[in-house]
Structure 1
Amino acid sequence: MFGTSGVRGRVGEEVTADLALDIGRALATDGAETVVLGRDARDSGRTLSRALSAGVTECGADVIDVGVQPTPTVARSVVREGADAGVVVTASHNPAPDNGIKLWAADGRAFGDEANARIAEIVREETFELAAWDALGEHRQLEGARSHHEQALRESVAIPADLSVVVDLGNGVARVTADALHAAGCDVETLNAQRDGRFPGRPSEPTAANCETACEVVDATGADLGVVHDGDADRLMAIDERGRFVAGDALLALFARREAETGDRVAVPVDTSLLVADALAEVGADVTYTPVGDAYVAAETTTPDVVFGGEPSGAWIWPTQIRCPDGPLAACTLAALVGAEGSLAAMVDDLPEYPIRRESVQTDAKSAIIERVADLATAEYDDVSTLDGIRVETDAGWFLVRASGTESLVRITAEARDERDAEELFETARELIERASETV
């Protein structure tokens, strides 16, 4: 039921009001007495949210509804309200026909595997503890969640007042970013600012291909910086002043180097570039690898010497603020970094370039293929990690084969310090998948 980012799928097929009702029931049955509820801009979220609230209250727990808000705004509200859990009805960067349900713990981080498994078992076994007629929970609206988020951003980050910033909201719910930057004195120009869960301006995922218009606007207007969000604003990607989309690994290296000092560690997933480890080595810090998924990164940030966590896909976690990926916080922090250093392009150009190849293979048998690839790789290579998928280290570099947590895909990543080595490692990984597919 739960992938690396909660429940996601096509509305009316994998994701239904019946499922939302049962997950709400399960949350209350599992012991949550107060649940904060929010959703992104998708129209289907209205129905799913109502069903989920009904399930929570039917089992005697109370719902605090913050309405249509960024995922990090909801997570922050869980902590501020002292709630036992939170729910965001969102499919994040997935396309408009999809929706999903992601659960949040009392400390503002995503549910881990164990907590998700408990909820899934209650739903599967239908062991709901329904309340008596006179003990049903209450549903109440909470105003001001976004303003609290904006205030926290301005209090935690020294946003420079003389920057010009293009903010591409992607028709999502990230208005808090534009508001915080504008209130700090920045010259803000927005793109795709009309909230619309159909995402008519561009696909929701903030990739280089999807953000070409934003890149052109940054270049044409002479802005100092461009920032782009996905549909629920848990992700943040960047565009430098030359109109170049900044690779996620490079942005992760810049954030990590800003936050870490000697002896610190930064939590990153197993598909992260060598670039990040090398950037941290310059300041006497190190990486610690996790499975792919912000819940795993967030869990690692509970270790005292882990000062930051991030994923190249655009999820950034500052554990002293909130253990939910906070795209608006990342946008404001990046603005502060550009204000201090003067040029995002210069910072990016100062980083070494390591050739890295990433590709996805469509398959309906991803689990079986991964098991077979693990057998093949373990038999043929000495340094193999199965923390998440199969990561093979060689003298030339590394490659990773792992199943997507949200889609019917097997993902390949290969990297080396030399272009030819990276290409050879990538072809080796793809060949392993092809050999595995022949026997599945």
Structure 2
Amino acid sequence: MKLFGSSGTRGVAIADLSPEFALRVAKAAGTVWETDRVAVARDTRTTGELLCNAAAAGIAAVGCDVDRLGEVPTPAVGRYCAVRETPCVLVTASHNPPEFNGIKLVGDDGVELQVDALERVENHVLGEEFDEADWRGAGQTTHIDGVNDAYVESVVDAVDRAAIADADLTVAVDPGHGAGSLTNPAIYRRLGCSVRTVNAQPDGRFPGRLPEPVPEHLGDLQRLVRSSDADLGIAHDGDADRAVFVDETGAYIEGDASLAALAADALSAGDAAVSAVNVSQRLVDVCEDVGADLELTPIGATNIITRVRELQAAGKRVPIAGEGNGGVFFPEYRLSRDGAYIAARFLELLADGRPASEVVVPYADYVNVRHNVSYDSDAELDRLLGAAEAYVREAAAEPNTTDGYRLDYGDAWVLVRPSGTEPKVRVYAEARSADRAEELADGVLAALEDAR
């Protein structure tokens, strides 16, 4: 796909992702979807309103009525779409920096469109093939209230509220000024937790921290956990479909470790888990221990969703899927990532009295490193990927080419691949020691830098 990457389409707002482009995507989606009503929603980014205005105009121009949901977390959109059987054009750039924005397309089942559906929409965008209405058939707009409140209720009702409340937990929450600011502190309070917050004012400039919940952005949360004696710190990305954690000591919990802990709780023998090609050995070990299958896909929510649906259609139970970036699916709840639900499931793990640090101890044996190499043109990207290919040809391991190049060494692995959402080549490595992981990553990075 040329327009839609591993999780929608994104770019610098107005400069790259323009209102005209949003209009065309919305007209194409309205043309492809067999419906008379489409929702439009956004996260807290400052350019969200103008892009939503363009998307709403495009939807109305092809004869569909428009439900304007306003500022809502991505999982709240998923719930609305599933309950109302209404698809949505969602304006969000998730974890990207403030200058970015993007578009995700959510089906009337509340799930992001699969690859084949996205390709149909993309073909209409590129071919400018739109079923435009005449003036008498233009769609009408309705502003919908209560979407966030209904979402809060749905998450609280979906987990073991009594067990969490009985544990008398104190939770520190950092929504990062994103859409989760509007819902998630309330969810944890409704679950019976004492809640402390930081960066919890919705603000599309993201003044307190950048939207991606990576360790270097979570100093405020770590300090809050320590100063408030919290049992757990929870951080979300800009659209609140991910959750990462800080333990009771203020230490960052690797996303791969929290995914493994959640998987160990969810999986049984004969089940399947789905993850991406950058899967950690931690999840591999959990699946082997419980007798579950592990299916790998290219990186990105769209690819994981597609594979989960294929397995479910074949009669396979898939209770958990996702990646080690905090984006976890619980397909039996909903086949979309939901940061508040992920965090609530982790709070259930603490309900037996174990501290967060103890919950993840079995999955702490590996060290992950990740580096990004930026590029400015397609020609530079080609040089970088050519260097990566040459590097793996000479490596003492057989490459897995599901998505980029992954080299498994038994005790460690390294992966190099182009990002699906940013102009970067990503290098991941994992090993039982930081030195070994950095050694593997540095080898690839040196080859990429030489290619410049």
Asked if the contact 1:400–1:413 (Cα under 8 Å) also holds between the matched residues in 2, the reply is yes
Matched, 1:75 2:82: no
Asked if the contact 2:18–2:51 (Cα under 8 Å) also holds between the matched residues in 1, the reply is yes
- Which residues of 2 match residues 40-439 of structure 1 at below 5 A? 40-83=43-86, 85-159=87-161, 160-161=164-165, 162-174=168-180, 175-302=182-309, 303=311, 304-364=316-376, 365-371=380-386, 373-374=388-389, 377-378=392-393, 383-419=398-434, 421-434=436-449, 437=451
Q: CA deviation at 1:368?
A: 4.9
Asked if the contact 1:374–1:386 (Cα under 8 Å) also holds between the matched residues in 2, the reply is no
Asked if the contact 1:301–1:308 (Cα under 8 Å) also holds between the matched residues in 2, the reply is no
Asked if the contact 2:391–2:444 (Cα under 8 Å) also holds between the matched residues in 1, the reply is no
- CA deviations on 1:33-69 (whole Å, 9 max, x unpaired) are 2222210112211111011011011101122221110
Distance in 2, Cα, partners of 1:14 & 1:90: 14
Which range is displaced more, 350-359 or 121-130? 350-359
Q: CA deviation at 1:430?
A: 2.7
TM-score (norm 1): 0.94
Q: CA deviation at 1:421?
A: 4.2
- Cα–Cα, structure 1 residues 289 and 165, in superposed 2: closer, same or farther, change >3 Å? same
Q: CA deviation at 1:375?
A: 5.5
Asked if the contact 2:115–2:306 (Cα under 8 Å) also holds between the matched residues in 1, the reply is no
Counterpart residue number, 1:31: 33
The code of the aligned residue for 1:171 comes to H
Distance in 1, Cα, partners of 2:203 & 2:442: 41
Asked if the contact 1:367–1:403 (Cα under 8 Å) also holds between the matched residues in 2, the reply is no
Asked if the contact 2:320–2:329 (Cα under 8 Å) also holds between the matched residues in 1, the reply is yes
Distance in 2, Cα, partners of 1:163 & 1:418: 33
Share of identical aligned residues, percent? 34
- Equivalent residue of 1:359, what SS? strand
- Cα–Cα, structure 1 residues 236 and 420, in superposed 2: closer, same or farther, change >3 Å? closer
- Equivalent residue of 2:172, what SS? strand
Distance in 1, Cα, partners of 2:226 & 2:374: 35
Distance in 2, Cα, partners of 1:368 & 1:65: 44
- Equivalent residue of 2:253, what SS? coil
- CA deviations on 1:189-224 (whole Å, 9 max, x unpaired) are 121121111111111111111111111111111111
RMSD of Structure 2 on Structure 1 (CA)? 1.9
Distance in 1, Cα, partners of 2:28 & 2:57: 12
Q: CA deviation at 1:306?
A: 2.1
Asked if the contact 1:277–1:286 (Cα under 8 Å) also holds between the matched residues in 2, the reply is no
Distance in 1, Cα, partners of 2:33 & 2:158: 33
Stretches of structure 1 lacking an aligned partner (at least 5 in a row): none
User: Aligned match of 2:19 in 17, 20, 28?
Assistant: 17
Asked if the contact 1:107–1:323 (Cα under 8 Å) also holds between the matched residues in 2, the reply is no
Asked if the contact 2:114–2:305 (Cα under 8 Å) also holds between the matched residues in 1, the reply is no
Distance in 2, Cα, partners of 1:341 & 1:242: 16
Distance in 1, Cα, partners of 2:397 & 2:222: 43
- CA deviations on 1:366-394 (whole Å, 9 max, x unpaired) are 24532553355246556222111111223
Which range is displaced more, 235-244 or 337-346? 337-346
- Cα–Cα, structure 1 residues 192 and 100, in superposed 2: closer, same or farther, change >3 Å? same
The code of the aligned residue for 1:404 comes to S
- CA deviations on 1:216-245 (whole Å, 9 max, x unpaired) are 111111111111111111111111111111
- Cα–Cα, structure 1 residues 328 and 420, in superposed 2: closer, same or farther, change >3 Å? closer
Distance in 2, Cα, partners of 1:278 & 1:351: 9
Q: CA deviation at 1:31?
A: 2.9
Stretches of structure 2 lacking an aligned partner (at least 5 in a row): none
Asked if the contact 1:32–1:61 (Cα under 8 Å) also holds between the matched residues in 2, the reply is no
Asked if the contact 1:384–1:390 (Cα under 8 Å) also holds between the matched residues in 2, the reply is yes
The code of the aligned residue for 1:387 comes to T
The code of the aligned residue for 2:337 comes to P
Asked if the contact 1:300–1:306 (Cα under 8 Å) also holds between the matched residues in 2, the reply is no
